[in-house]
A and B are shown apart, each in its own frame.
Chain A
Amino acid sequence: MNAHLRRTFYLFVAGFTGLVMMLAYWQVYSREALANNPENGFQTQRSISSPRGLILAGDGETVLAKSVKRPTPRGPVYDRVYPLGTPFSNVVGYWSTRYGATGIEISNNSDLSSVVGEPETLDDLINRATGGPQPGNNVVLTIDPGLQKLAYQELSASSTGRGAVVALNPKTGEILAMATSPSFDANEVDENYPELANAEDAPLVDRGTQSLYPPGSVFKVITAAAALEVGVSPEQHFFDSGAYELPGYTVHNFEGKDFGDVTFTRALAYSINVVFAKIAVNIVGAQRLTDMALNFGFGDPYDDFPLPVSGSSVNSLPPEKWTTGTLAQTGFGQGEVQTNAFEMALVAAAIGNDGKLMEPRIVREVRSPDGIILDKPTPSVRRQALPPDTAETLNEMMQQVIIQGGLTDAEIEGMKVAGKTGTAESGNGEPHSWWITFAPADDPKIAMCVMIENGGRADKGALPIAARLMKAYLVDGV
Chain B
Amino acid sequence: MVLALLVTILGFATLIFVQQAASPPLIYGAYYAGTLLVLYLGVRVLLPHSDVLLLPIVTLLTGLGLVMIFRLTYDVEGAQKLALTQAVWILIGSGAMFLLVLFFRNYDRIFDYKYLLAIAAVFLIASTFTPLGYTVNGARLWVDLGPVNFQPSEFARIALVVFFAGYLAEKRDVMAATSRSFLGVELPAIKYFGPVALVWAASLGLLVFEKDLGSSLLFFAVPLLMLYAATGRTAYVLLGGVLFSVGSFVAFLLFEHVQLRVQSWLDPWRDPDGTGFQILQSIFNIADGGLLGTGLGAGFAQTIPEVETDFVFSAIASELGLLGATAVLLAFLAFTYRGTKIALLAEDDASKLLAFGLTAMFALQTLVIVGGVTKAIPLTGITLPFVSYGGSSVVGNFLLTGLLLLVSERAGRREAEGLAYKDGRRGPP
Whether, in the assembled complex, A198 has its beta carbon less than 8 Å from a beta carbon of chain B, the answer is no
Would you call A16 and B287 a contact (CB within 8 A)? Answer: no
Known contacts A130-B14, A132-B295; is A27 also within 8 Å of B321 by CB? yes
Q: How far is the CA of A1 from the CA of B356 in the complex (A)?
A: 11
Q: How far is the CA of A28 from the CA of B364 in the complex (A)?
A: 26
Q: How far is the CA of A164 from the CA of B59 in the complex (A)?
A: 67
> Which residue of chain A is the closest to B349 with respect to CB atoms?
A1
> Which residue of chain A is the closest to B322 with respect to CB atoms?
A27
Would you call A23 and B326 a contact (CB within 8 A)? Answer: yes
Number of interface residues of B (CB under 8 A): 66
B181 shortest CB reach to chain A, Å: 22
Q: How far is the CA of A342 from the CA of B288 in the complex (A)?
A: 44
Whether, in the assembled complex, B242 has its beta carbon less than 8 Å from a beta carbon of chain A, the answer is no
Give the residues in chain B near A130, CB-CB below 8 Å: 14, 17-18, 295-296
B-contact 0/1 string along A117-135, CB 8 Å cutoff? 0000000000011111100
Q: How far is the CA of A462 from the CA of B77 in the complex (A)?
A: 58
Would you call A28 and B363 a contact (CB within 8 A)? Answer: no
A123 shortest CB reach to chain B, Å: 12
Give the residues in chain A near B343, CB-CB below 8 Å: 5
Give the residues in chain B near A378, CB-CB below 8 Å: none
Would you call B75 and A19 a contact (CB within 8 A)? Answer: no
Whether, in the assembled complex, A40 has its beta carbon less than 8 Å from a beta carbon of chain B, the answer is yes
Whether, in the assembled complex, A246 has its beta carbon less than 8 Å from a beta carbon of chain B, the answer is no
B10 shortest CB reach to chain A, Å: 9
Known contacts A8-B228, A12-B367, A27-B286; is A131 also within 8 Å of B374 by CB? no
Choose one: B329, B366, B375; the contact of A20 (CB below 8 Å): B329
Give the residues in chain A near B229, CB-CB below 8 Å: 1, 4-5, 8
Give the residues in chain B near A15, CB-CB below 8 Å: 363, 367, 371
Q: How far is the CA of A39 from the CA of B360 in the complex (A)?
A: 38
Whether, in the assembled complex, A415 has its beta carbon less than 8 Å from a beta carbon of chain B, the answer is no
Would you call A5 and B297 a contact (CB within 8 A)? Answer: no
Whether, in the assembled complex, A316 has its beta carbon less than 8 Å from a beta carbon of chain B, the answer is no
Would you call B19 and A132 a contact (CB within 8 A)? Answer: yes
Would you call A12 and B363 a contact (CB within 8 A)? Answer: yes
CB interface residues, B 286-309, toward A, < 8 Å: 286-291, 293-298, 300, 302-303
A-contact 0/1 string along B306-332, CB 8 Å cutoff? 000000000001010110011001101
Whether, in the assembled complex, B266 has its beta carbon less than 8 Å from a beta carbon of chain A, the answer is no
| Among A71-79, A97-105, A393-401, A450-458, the stretch in contact with B | A71-79
Would you call B288 and A42 a contact (CB within 8 A)? Answer: yes
Would you call B287 and A30 a contact (CB within 8 A)? Answer: yes
B-contact 0/1 string along A132-159, CB 8 Å cutoff? 1100000000000000000000000000
Known contacts A4-B232, A131-B297, A133-B18; is A16 also within 8 Å of B288 by CB? no
Would you call B230 and A27 a contact (CB within 8 A)? Answer: no
> Which residue of chain A is the closest to B343 with respect to CB atoms?
A5
Number of interface residues of A (CB under 8 A): 44
CB interface residues, A 365-413, toward B, < 8 Å: none
| Among B84-92, B106-114, B418-426, the stretch in contact with A | B418-426
Whether, in the assembled complex, A31 has its beta carbon less than 8 Å from a beta carbon of chain B, the answer is yes
> Which residue of chain B is the closest to A71 with respect to CB atoms?
B75
CB interface residues, A 56-85, toward B, < 8 Å: 71, 73-76
Known contacts A16-B332, A34-B287, A131-B14; is A2 also within 8 Å of B424 by CB? yes
CB interface residues, B 1-51, toward A, < 8 Å: 14, 17-19
A-contact 0/1 string along B325-367, CB 8 Å cutoff? 1100110110011001001100001001000100010011011
B275 shortest CB reach to chain A, Å: 13
B383 shortest CB reach to chain A, Å: 16
> Which residue of chain A is the closest to B282 with respect to CB atoms?
A26
Would you call A6 and B360 a contact (CB within 8 A)? Answer: no
B171 shortest CB reach to chain A, Å: 14
Would you call A74 and B302 a contact (CB within 8 A)? Answer: yes
Whether, in the assembled complex, A199 has its beta carbon less than 8 Å from a beta carbon of chain B, the answer is no
Q: How far is the CA of A75 from the CA of B326 in the complex (A)?
A: 27
B248 shortest CB reach to chain A, Å: 18
> Which residue of chain A is the closest to B284 with respect to CB atoms?
A40
Most A CB within 10 A of own CB, among B285, B325, B330, B374: B374
Whether, in the assembled complex, A35 has its beta carbon less than 8 Å from a beta carbon of chain B, the answer is yes
Q: How far is the CA of A71 from the CA of B74 in the complex (A)?
A: 12
A40 shortest CB reach to chain B, Å: 5
Would you call A1 and B302 a contact (CB within 8 A)? Answer: no
B-contact 0/1 string along A7-46, CB 8 Å cutoff? 0110011011011101110111011001101011010011
Q: How far is the CA of A15 from the CA of B362 in the complex (A)?
A: 13
Give the residues in chain B near A16, CB-CB below 8 Å: 329-330, 332-333, 336, 366-367
CB interface residues, B 110-148, toward A, < 8 Å: none
B370 shortest CB reach to chain A, Å: 5
Choose one: B76, B321, B344, B363; the contact of A2 (CB below 8 Å): B344
Known contacts A20-B329, A31-B287; is A49 also within 8 Å of B300 by CB? yes
Choose one: A1, A27, A133; the contact of B291 (CB below 8 Å): A27
Known contacts A128-B295, A133-B298; is A5 also within 8 Å of B325 by CB? no
Residue positions of A touching B, CB distance < 8 A: 1-6, 8-9, 12-13, 15-16, 18-20, 22-24, 26-28, 30-31, 34-35, 37, 39-40, 42, 45-46, 49-50, 71, 73-76, 128-133
30 contacts between A and B (CB under 8 A): A1-B230, A1-B425, A1-B427, A3-B232, A4-B228, A5-B340, A5-B352, A6-B340, A6-B344, A8-B225, A9-B340, A19-B374, A20-B322, A20-B325, A26-B374, A27-B287, A27-B321, A27-B322, A34-B284, A35-B287, A42-B300, A73-B77, A74-B302, A75-B300, A130-B18, A130-B295, A130-B296, A132-B14, A132-B298, A133-B297
A-B pairs, top 8 by smallest CB distance, nearest first, are A131-B295, A132-B18, A34-B287, A9-B340, A27-B322, A4-B229, A15-B367, A12-B363
Known interface pairs A1-B232, A1-B427, A4-B427; 9 further A-B residue pairs with C-beta atoms within 8 A, sorted by A's residue number: A2-B423, A3-B427, A5-B352, A16-B329, A16-B330, A27-B289, A71-B75, A74-B303, A130-B17
